[in-house]
Amino acid sequence: MMIYLMCLVLFCIGLYCIVIKRNLIKIIIGIGIVHYAVNLAFILVAYRFKGRAPINAPGQVIENMVDPLPQALVLTAIVIGLAVTALIVAIAVRIYEKYGTFDITKIRRLKG
Amino acid sequence: MNNEPERPGMTLIVKTITRLTVGLILLFGIYIVLHGHITPGGGFAGGVIIALSFIHLMLAFGKELALKKVSEAQASFFESLGAILFLSIAILGFVGGYFFLNFFLKGEPFRLFSAGIIPLCNIAICLKVGAGLFAVFVALVLLKGIGEKGK
Amino acid sequence: MLELYIILLFMIIGAIIAVQIKDLLSSVIAVGAVGLGLSVAFLLLKAPDLAITQLVVEILCLIILIRATIKRDIPSIRERSGWLAMFATLAFIGLFLLFAYFSLKDLPQFGHPIMRVANNYLKQGLKETGAANIVTSVILDFRAYDTLGEATVLFTAVIGVLAVLRRIGRKKPGEVVREDE
């Protein structure tokens, strides 16, 4: 229970950064922290005490392994998170070219 | 400020170490992809490592030399090739019954040629992920920065 | 499980540093430290596939962030938002934490997962697919349709980046475009 709460605190730190900060790069950093918290929460659910990694070894019969299903989900989620981060950074670079600043309050006022 | 012609890339120490290690990084990436069904790893991690080896070359030696090895058109071609290969392996499953059926022969476990279509799918995903991430990085580097006018 | 608590505490402190510090390069490096701590946490939770993937993805993410943004930033002074915005955000996050605490009680206790579907995969993984790595056999044989969806999402993201960063207009023959670095 305590460990789930610590993972949730990490998520809330990222959420606070997305809502409060004005610099566009800080918002991207907040999104990255939210990615880490969510991936960690999946793997925390899948852990079993005294379990072993889900890989068979030759000549051994392994009795208890940790849950392999959330690991398969998170494996693709990590690589998708990287591609989405690259997309947001590309959009931020284009915004900087057009408006000359990364400040989100000024981007609303300059039109045209 | 400079009294010698401008040389692209980084200093001499970085270039020497890059020459020694970039081949090893590429080999390590290929190893992780091919042994994806025996040891931890698989197509995704191996594809990112292969993309990292080409990015290492570009960061240390400058843009022109890296683009001579793999140009942008070739990267785009390899990415589409990986996607089409993955889809065609899936559709070939119709031979046995349903979509994505594992129809190859499964040898004995813990050998390199075992587990049906899984090594082929790993290679297709490695091509797709590696070429795609390299193309993204080349596009980000080639864009001209606005803060450097008149530098 | 004492090491897991220590690594999580390290990640929380690194995240607080990354959020509060004013210099952009330092906060990007702090986020890199959080990602590497996450890779160690995956290793402690017995998931070696994920530890390898998270490590290399974190390195690439750091390279993209530093290369594409730090060279372009002209530092300027940003003043803080008003008191009302900060108070409203903290109240919202407090409410969110309260509701989440009540719903976290229904999760299974840490260390005893309910493995209704995964027991089948663990028993028949080696016999049915012939692969020794059960996570690979799950993503490429039992749940291969999800991997097809993931490949489509990756393809779309790469096409999106190449479309956003395209140079507008055509180059005249003989014109040399002076480019970055």
Task: Kindly report, residue by residue over B61-70, the tens digit of the pLDDT.
Answer: 888 888 888 8
Banded model confidence at residue C169, pLDDT cuts 50, 70, 90: low
Nearest Cα neighbor of A71 from B86, C134, B46 is C134
Domain membership flag for residue B132: yes
* Interchain pair A97, B132: CB under 8 A: no
Residue B96 reports pLDDT greater than 70: no
**pLDDT bucket at C61, cuts 50 / 70 / 90:** very high
Is C59 domain-assigned? yes
Contact C179 B49 (CB under 8 A): no
β partners of residue A52: A65
What local confidence, expressed as pLDDT, does residue B71 receive? 85
Confidence (pTM):
0.88
Is the complex ipTM higher than 0.85?
yes
Which member of C53, C134, C157 has the closest CB to residue A83? C157
The reported pLDDT for the residue numbered C69 is 73
Contact C49, C36 (CB under 8 A): no
**Chain A residue at shortest CA distance from C35:** A36
pLDDT band at B18 (very low <50, low <70, confident <90, very high): very high
Quick one: which of C44, C125, B83, C42 has its CA closest to A77?
C42
Provide the domain count of chain B: 1
Chain B: closest CA distance from residue C64 (Å) = 7
B136–A86: do the CB atoms touch at under 8 Å? yes
Domains of chain A: 2-49+65-109 (1.10.287.3510)
Residue C31 is assigned to a structural domain of this protein: yes
Residue % of chain A over a pLDDT of 90: 49
**Residue A65 main-chain phi, psi, to 5 deg:** -120, 160
- Residue B24 in any domain: the answer is yes
Q: State yes or no: pLDDT of B6 exceeds 60.
A: no
Residue B108 lies in a domain: yes
- Chain A residue closest to C159 (CA)? A87
Confidence of residue B103 (pLDDT cuts 50, 70, 90): low
pLDDT at B112: 74
Q: pLDDT digits over C73-86, tens only?
A: 666 656 666 788 88
Closest CA to B115 of B125, B102, B127, B128: B102
Nearest-CA distance A42 → chain C (Å): 11
In angstroms, rounded to a whole number, what is the distance separating the alpha carbons of residues A5 and B97?
47
Return the C-alpha torsion angle B20, B55, B32, C41, nearest 10.
Answer: 110
Residue B144 confidence (pLDDT) above 60 = no
Q: From the candidates B140, B141, B142, B148, which should be mutated to test the interface with A, based on the most A CB atoms within 10 A?
A: B140
- pLDDT recorded at residue C17: 94
Q: Report whether pLDDT(B148) > 60.
A: no
Residue C155 maps to a domain: yes
Q: How does residue B98 score in pLDDT terms, banded at 50, 70 and 90?
A: low
Q: B interface mutation test: which of C140, C165, C177 has the most B CBs within 10 A?
A: C140
Nearest to C107 by CA among A88, A7, B54: A7
Name the B residues in 45-64 with CB < 8 Å from any C CB: 45, 48-49, 51-52, 55, 59, 62-63
Mark which of C72, C99, C114 sits at the end of a domain: C72
Give pLDDT, residue B145.
45
Q: What is the mean pLDDT of chain B?
A: 82
Give the pLDDT band of residue C18 (cuts 50, 70, 90).
very high
Whether residue B149 is predicted with pLDDT greater than 50 in this model: the reply is no
pLDDT digits (tens, 9 = 90+) for C122-157: 888 777 777 888 898 888 888 888 899 999 999 999
C119 phi/psi in degrees, rounded to 5: -65, -35
Domain assignment present for C163: yes
Please state the domain count of chain C.
2
Cα separation, C61 vs A53, in Å, equals 27
Each residue's pLDDT tens digit, A53-111: 888 877 777 778 888 999 999 999 999 999 999 999 999 888 888 887 788 877 776 66
Q: Which of C133, C135, C155 sits opposite B83 (nearest CB)?
A: C155
Stretch among A32-41, C47-56, C73-82, C172-181 having the lowest mean pLDDT: C172-181
Residue C39 CA: distances (Å) to CA of A52, B97, C150: 17, 40, 22
For the cut 70, the answer to whether the pLDDT of residue C177 exceeds it is no
Report how far residue A101's alpha carbon sits from residue A21's, in angstroms, rounded to the nearest whole number: 15
Last residue in a domain, options C32, C49, C72: C72
Establish if B19 touches chain C: CB-CB under 8 angstroms: no
Pick A79's closest partner by Cβ from B39, B129, B143.
Answer: B129
- Chain B CB contacts of A75 under 8 Å are 42, 44
Subunits that touch chain A (at least 3 Cβ pairs < 8 angstroms)?
Answer: B, C
pLDDT of residue B132: 93
pLDDT above 60 (res C176) = no
Residues A2-28: what's their mean pLDDT? Answer: 91
How close, in Å, is residue A52 to chain C by CA atoms?
A: 6
Pick from C46, C72, C98: which residue ends a domain? C72
Answer yes or no: is B1 within a domain: no
Mean of pLDDT over chain C: 84
So what's the pLDDT on residue A49? 87
Domain encompassing residue C14 = 1-72
**pLDDT at residue C180, rounded to an integer:** 47
* CB contact (8 A) between residue A79 and residue B44: yes
B7 belongs to a structural domain? no
Distance CA(A101)–CA(C8), nearest Å, equals 35
B44 CB neighbours in chain A (<8 A) are 75-76, 78-79
Chain C contact for A62, CB < 8 A? no
A107 touches chain C (CB under 8 A): no
**Which residue does chain A place closest to B130, by CA atoms?**
A79
Is B127 a member of any domain? Answer: yes
Domain that includes residue B101, residue range:
12-142
Which partners does chain C have (≥3 C-beta pairs < 8 Å)?
A, B
Residue B61 lies in a domain: yes
User: Which of B87-96, C85-94, C114-123: highest mean pLDDT?
Assistant: C85-94
* Contact between chains at C19 and A49 (C-beta distance less than 8 A): no
Is the pLDDT at B1 greater than 70? The verdict is: no
Label residue C175 by pLDDT band (50, 70, 90): low
User: What are the CA-CA distances from residue A5 to residues B79, C15, C99 (Å)?
Assistant: 41, 15, 12
Read off the tokens for C49: 């596939």
* pLDDT number for residue A9: 93
